[in-house]
Structure 1
Amino acid sequence: MLSKNAQNVLDGWIAAAGPVVQKLYGQSEECWPDVRKQYMQGLESLFPAVSGVSYKTLTLGNMPTMVSERHEHAGSSVVLYIHGGGYVHGGVEAYRGLTGRIATALNATVYVPDYRQAPDFPFPTPIEDVFSAYRALLDRGINPKNLVLVGDSAGGAMVITMMRKARDAGIPLPAAGVAFSPWADLTHSGLAATARDGIDPLCSIDFLTQLAREFLAGELPTHPDASPVYADVQGLSPTLIQIGENEVMLSGAMKLASNLGEARVRTTLEVWPGMFHVWHLFAGTLPEADQALRNAMRFLKDVLSESSESDDATSMP
């Protein structure tokens, strides 16, 4: 049972998504950029920036990128945050609150690329854009042992895909990855897709199927870059997956965690009873969001600390 404040925020999120739903189902003549702008304005008011954090925009990998960091000097840790939105309707403006909290917790600089999206830029453009941003961070001299990936929904799936692409390209992998409510299986073949449909207040299978159609533009939903549950995940970095028990994406997240574990990837899976899609955005309003975010930050701190200790040991005479 949500508190009154949390329920009001959830209701506000559903209302803000109205223009997205209308556009997706052909009930609106507005263009997608205008629809995204309306949606982001609604979410920005629901999930505002936090105090003590500065926000600016720079170019990373030829795309505008929001940067969140504490007013005080940030440490050496760097986060590449990959926003969600089904590869169609997301944007960076909704993430000032969440990335500000991450920047504060890790004393890190957080980069959020505003990657291009479908239907104007369908598969694989969003994925290629984010990988370009990852490469750009390495080209800036960022030590990969200080770099972690965090993402939600479609961005959570891309956390896995970015590590795979780095592995296959022969470039350094990040120290770790965290996936919030990953959209890991665009076939929606798991039991949760039917058992939770209508329970998750934010995502239905029909809605996700419409998003997948816009994004894939004829590509198969089993393509490993679109659905990481069908990918070779050997050799990836330590990964934490957090998923809400009410989510239609539950089965996909659990299958992804199982595949990672069987591939000998250090994997942590957290299933949160009663939680809905990307409840992490409710940090500061919902206790379960605060706790999930604390768990995720603790996971990243441990991995970053291990990487630092490994560097120190290597540099000893």
Structure 2
Amino acid sequence: MQNVAEQRAQFAAMFTRPLPTDIGTSVTTLGGRPALELRKAAPSAEGQDVLLYFHGGGFVVGSPRVTVHITAALLRHLDGRAVSLDYRLAPEHAFPAAADDCLAAYRELLDSGVDPQRLVVAGDSAGAGLAVVTMMRARDAGLPMPAAAVLFSPAVDLTLSGASMRSKDGVDPFFAPADLDWLFDQYTAGSDRSAPELSPLFADLSGLPPLLIQVGSSELLLDDAVRLAGRAAADEVAVTLEVAPRQPHVFQLDDGSAEAAAALERAGRFLATRLGSEKEGS
């Protein structure tokens, strides 16, 4: 197996795309961590909407730069800016480091005066799981919820108990169950994987904002998304689940795919509608 540095380099080489020409980027700091801030190049794009994005990568690889085209695609529908957090990665920084960084970033946005009704959250894979955990922890701390959240292929059951871990083994083009088990082991570092802050599928989700969950039918994490939608609905959370036939894990990363473009368009409009910014995406 490659060492962690090699895995990070390979992941970045596979998925990083050129920076969008219509989006400006700058390095900033949020919650004590580096972050990538995105703004639309149009001078009129000075609204109050804020998107907080958490990248994927199994808690071990990935960065805001790798997923910048996803963040940019969502931002095009909003009237404001996006901030993608460079949270600490395992195994150098095991649980709860990433979760702590994400909550600190969310808290700093609120403390800086961002209106929670103008704030939305999104993430992919492990980052989508962190988005759910962040909202749960914010709720438990008495902080206001964001207006909405989008979750791409969320990793929310680190116990790997979903039926798709077996039924999609050999169908998923990216992962075998052993791959996910290794990644999650780096992050959990011996902690109980069924704990709600590691596997929010098993948590109380009441009080969370409207959710849009997108997942591919060809991925091991299919049942994470399906069961999360059911858990959210049972806890009286407004939730929309979209399952894309024959699509892989975080298929939105493929910027040459019509399915990815359509999914990101729907996700952007979902956020814009909850913010009252739908005209920005038209």
TM-score norm. by structure 1 comes to 0.84
The one of 48, 56, 59 aligned to 2:18: 48
Partner of 2:48: 76
Contact in 1 for aligned 2:75/2:268 (Cα 8 Å):
no
1:58 aligns to 2:28 (yes or no): yes
Partner of 1:181: 153
**2: CA distance, partners of 1:152 / 1:131:** 16
**2: CA distance, partners of 1:38 / 1:238:** 35
**2: CA distance, partners of 1:138 / 1:204:** 39
**1: CA distance, partners of 2:50 / 2:164:** 34
In the TM superposition, what is the alpha-carbon distance from 1:40 to its structure 2 partner? Answer: 2.1
Moved more, 206-215 or 105-114: 105-114
Q: How many residues align?
A: 276
**2: CA distance, partners of 1:53 / 1:86:** 27
The one of 254, 257, 261 aligned to 1:290: 261
**2: CA distance, partners of 1:108 / 1:205:** 39
TM-score norm. by structure 2 comes to 0.94
**2: CA distance, partners of 1:107 / 1:48:** 23
Partner of 1:129: 101
Residue type of the alignment partner of 2:273: D
Residue type of the alignment partner of 1:143: D
**2: CA distance, partners of 1:64 / 1:33:** 19
**2: CA distance, partners of 1:76 / 1:82:** 20
**2: CA distance, partners of 1:251 / 1:214:** 22
**1: CA distance, partners of 2:267 / 2:162:** 25
In the TM superposition, what is the alpha-carbon distance from 1:107 to its structure 2 partner? Answer: 3.4
Residue type of the alignment partner of 1:219: S
The one of 262, 265, 271 aligned to 1:300: 271
In the TM superposition, what is the alpha-carbon distance from 1:229 to its structure 2 partner? Answer: 0.7
**2: CA distance, partners of 1:38 / 1:181:** 21
Higher RCO (C-alpha 8 Å, min separation 6): 2
Residue type of the alignment partner of 2:223: S
In the TM superposition, what is the alpha-carbon distance from 1:35 to its structure 2 partner? Answer: 4.6
Identity %: 39
Contact in 1 for aligned 2:120/2:146 (Cα 8 Å):
yes
The one of 22, 31, 40 aligned to 2:2: 22
The one of 144, 150, 163 aligned to 1:191: 163
Contact in 2 for aligned 1:150/1:177 (Cα 8 Å):
yes
**2: CA distance, partners of 1:259 / 1:136:** 29
In the TM superposition, what is the alpha-carbon distance from 1:37 to its structure 2 partner? Answer: 4.2
The one of 102, 116, 136 aligned to 2:88: 116
**2: CA distance, partners of 1:267 / 1:43:** 28
In the TM superposition, what is the alpha-carbon distance from 1:38 to its structure 2 partner? Answer: 5.0
**2: CA distance, partners of 1:251 / 1:59:** 35
Spell out structure 1 runs of 4+ moving beyond 4 A: none
Residue type of the alignment partner of 2:63: G
**2: CA distance, partners of 1:290 / 1:226:** 30
Residue type of the alignment partner of 2:254: F
3-state SS in 2 of match to 1:182: coil
1:146 aligns to 2:126 (yes or no): no
**What is the Cα-based RMSD across aligned positions, in Å?**
1.6
In the TM superposition, what is the alpha-carbon distance from 1:204 to its structure 2 partner? Answer: 1.7
**2: CA distance, partners of 1:94 / 1:128:** 22
Contact in 2 for aligned 1:50/1:101 (Cα 8 Å):
no
3-state SS in 1 of match to 2:60: coil
In the TM superposition, what is the alpha-carbon distance from 1:33 to its structure 2 partner? Answer: 4.7
Residue correspondence of structure 1 range 133-282 to structure 2 within 5 A: 133-282=105-254
Q: What stretches of structure 1 of length at least 5 have no aligned partner?
A: 1-20, 24-31, 307-317
Partner of 2:280: none
**2: CA distance, partners of 1:103 / 1:298:** 10
Residue type of the alignment partner of 2:2: Q
Residue type of the alignment partner of 1:274: R
Give 1 or 2: higher helix fraction: 1
**2: CA distance, partners of 1:262 / 1:162:** 20
Moved more, 211-220 or 94-103: 94-103
Residue type of the alignment partner of 2:260: A
Partner of 1:89: 61
Larger Rg computed on CA atoms: 1
